[in-house]
Structure 1
Amino acid sequence: MPPTGTSSEWDWAWVDVAVPRVPGRLPGAGLPGVSMAGFGSRVPIEGDIAMVAHPSVTLIIDLSDGDGIAYRSGDRRERGSAVIGLMPGDLRAGGRIGACLQIRLEPVAAAALLGAPAELTGSVVPLEDVWGRDARLAEERLRAAPSWDERFAVATEMVARRMRARPPVDPEVAHIWRRTLAHPERVRVEALAAEVGWSRKRLWSRFRSQLGISPKRAARLVRFDRAARLLAAGLPAARVAAQTGYADQPHLHREVRTFTGLTPAGVAEAPWLAIDDVAWPSSSPALALTASA
């Protein structure tokens, strides 16, 4: 879930983005569905950042000096590291932002790492509420690391260790998620259920209980994410609708409005995907489109 600049004070020009040197190996080897990026501002930034729905659970580990990131969790205003669940709605964070590590977890990876993802859906909670004492230890180790390369290595080791300690999701659920991620426009619950030998009711129940979202909602979220990135890359709405499997342009308009409150034209002009192609290149439809042009 990318941070988005929504105030006049927020300027990505002041932010340095770090990614693992070998995408797909660090942190990819042995950690499918996990990606990382580091963000560091050259000057502390005061600003309001909107968080937009994304098909992943996001850990934000605050490495700032001083007060750090501020956000709202239910009726409370919190500071520091956080876990952002799927579909958090209108979520805004701010504060004096210096450096942070973001770890994106596809729902299958999030379930293996965090457990009970359904409890995180639609919410943002302090990392300490999920990881307990390990959250503070993680922050301390990451702050002590002298480079982003070493921070990525530390984070990879921590994530891998926690994943080994928890049972994975059902292989049938993992298979259905992979199919959804690859072809969200083709998701048909009955067909997927038959594919894994489950009833429709069982598929729906197990998928939702383990990933925190229904199969159809997951497909809508993945398709919206691709459409939003292509709109931000400058493609016209009609072409985006056709390429991402919407029935027509009004259908795209309705879905974009549902997920963002904006029109497709508003998404195309919004700055909230401005650095995604740098921070998360392996999942960028815009870069894939450029490469195939």
Structure 2
Amino acid sequence: MRPAEPVRAGAPRWQITVPSRPGRLPGVVMAGFSDRANEFRDVALVPHPAVTVIFDLGDQPFVVEDGRGARQRERVVAGLAPNGARGRGMARSSECLQLRLSPMVAHAILGASSELGGTVVALDDLWGREAVRIQERLRAAGSWEERFAIAEAALARREDAGRAVDPEVAFSWGQMVATRGRIRVERLVTETGWSRKRLWSRFRAQVGLTPKRVAQLIRFDHAAHRLAAGHTAASVAAESGYADQSHLHRDVVAFAGMTPTTVALSPFLALDDVAWPPASGGTALISRE
């Protein structure tokens, strides 16, 4: 069990459960969210360099809305960097299982990539009736550990049957992650041996966004977490490779639709240390400011 996070009196709380042991699928992490007090209402989704799959398991639908007002519920996929996406809790208790997939495994597991760049779609559109059957099994499960096992088995089957990304795409992704998005595309072109046009085309087809946009997203993600950790915008801009604080401000607004000050206080980011730690397990409570 992870100790509970400090909770301010009267602040809404979620119960978050993560697997007790590391999963067997590289590039896949998962967490269970419960809001028994019916205090979850509305939270902006801060873009991050992973594809999110949500299975709603509560009494009433948990809705994910994109920036254009389109709504998805029950079984939802949020692709890389959906613009203006929000999660909205409904009446009664809310409960859901969230999976975060690296783009390197999402391509095989979901059977789509280019369709997911900046969008929110129904999982049913990608998996058909299988998505409904998995949700029904998750609802019937007696514990979160059983739910994690069901989800992992389903993902493993689809990954085995799916098509892996090109080695050059995987290499480019790895270099972007290793440099926190601060690598130039021209260097990737040289190191992969592909032409710029081919790298651009294959990367976008298999990941959903262009190499340049993904590098910007990874850099933004690092900066957003540094802001949430309490570092000043000026220091974050300097250490994250932005030209200046104004450059950071523009990037944050472009990705998250909010200012660096607002991103720093985002409840979505406040969940990350509990729901998506490098390696841990158990249950914790966290406040939403």
Deviation track 1:23-52 (CA, whole Å, cap 9, x = no partner) reads xx22xx2x2211111101122345122222
Counterpart of 2:5 in structure 1 is: none
Q: Of the candidates 16, 20, 27, which is equivalent to residue 33 of structure 1? A: 27
Flag structure 1 segments of 5+ consecutive residues without an equivalent: 1-9, 284-293
Counterpart of 2:149 in structure 1 is: 153
2 CA distance for matches of 1:275 and 1:46? 13
Deviation track 1:72-125 (CA, whole Å, cap 9, x = no partner) reads 466654431211111211122322351100001111111111122111222211
Report the CA distance between 1:185 and its aligned residue. Answer: 4.0
The answer to whether the 8 Å contact 2:181/2:214 transfers is: no
The answer to whether the 8 Å contact 2:47/2:82 transfers is: yes
Query: Which deviates the most, 273-282 or 114-123?
Result: 114-123
Say how many residue pairs are matched: 267
User: What pairs up with 1:84-99 in 2 under 5 angstroms?
Assistant: 84-94=78-88, 95-96=90-91, 98-99=94-95
1 CA distance for matches of 2:153 and 2:173? 25
Q: Percent identity?
A: 52
AA matched with 2:32: G
1 CA distance for matches of 2:31 and 2:143? 13
Is structure 2 residue 16 aligned with structure 1 residue 17?
Answer: yes
The answer to whether the 8 Å contact 1:128/1:135 transfers is: yes
Question: For the structure 1 residues 35 and 98, does the alpha-carbon distance in structure 2 shift closer, same or farther, using more than 3 Å as the test?
Answer: same
2 CA distance for matches of 1:219 and 1:263? 20
2 CA distance for matches of 1:131 and 1:12? 34
2 CA distance for matches of 1:20 and 1:240? 32
Is structure 2 residue 116 aligned with structure 1 residue 120?
Answer: yes
AA matched with 2:131: A
Deviation track 1:221-246 (CA, whole Å, cap 9, x = no partner) reads 01101111110110111211122121
AA matched with 2:196: R
Counterpart of 1:58 in structure 2 is: 52
2 CA distance for matches of 1:237 and 1:75? 31
1 CA distance for matches of 2:260 and 2:213? 20
AA matched with 1:69: F
Question: For the structure 1 residues 46 and 269, does the alpha-carbon distance in structure 2 shift closer, same or farther, using more than 3 Å as the test?
Answer: closer
The answer to whether the 8 Å contact 1:185/1:246 transfers is: no
User: What pairs up with 1:1-293 in 2 under 5 angstroms?
Assistant: 12-13=12-13, 15-22=14-21, 25-26=22-23, 29=24, 31-45=25-39, 47-65=41-59, 67-72=60-65, 76-94=70-88, 95-96=90-91, 98-282=94-278
Report the CA distance between 1:128 and its aligned residue. Answer: 1.3
1 CA distance for matches of 2:63 and 2:121? 12
Secondary structure of the structure 1 residue equivalent to 2:54: strand
1 CA distance for matches of 2:155 and 2:11? 31
Query: Which deviates the most, 268-277 or 142-151?
Result: 268-277
AA matched with 1:18: T
State the TM-score, normalized to the length of structure 2: 0.86
Secondary structure of the structure 1 residue equivalent to 2:16: strand
Flag structure 2 segments of 5+ consecutive residues without an equivalent: 1-9, 280-289
Secondary structure of the structure 2 residue equivalent to 1:281: coil
2 CA distance for matches of 1:132 and 1:71? 19
Higher relative contact order (CA 8 A, sep 6+): 2
The answer to whether the 8 Å contact 2:72/2:120 transfers is: no
Higher helix share: 1
1 CA distance for matches of 2:151 and 2:214? 27
State the TM-score, normalized to the length of structure 1: 0.85
AA matched with 1:227: A
Report the CA distance between 1:269 and its aligned residue. Answer: 2.7
The answer to whether the 8 Å contact 2:12/2:39 transfers is: no
1 CA distance for matches of 2:69 and 2:146? 36
AA matched with 2:61: G
The answer to whether the 8 Å contact 2:57/2:95 transfers is: yes
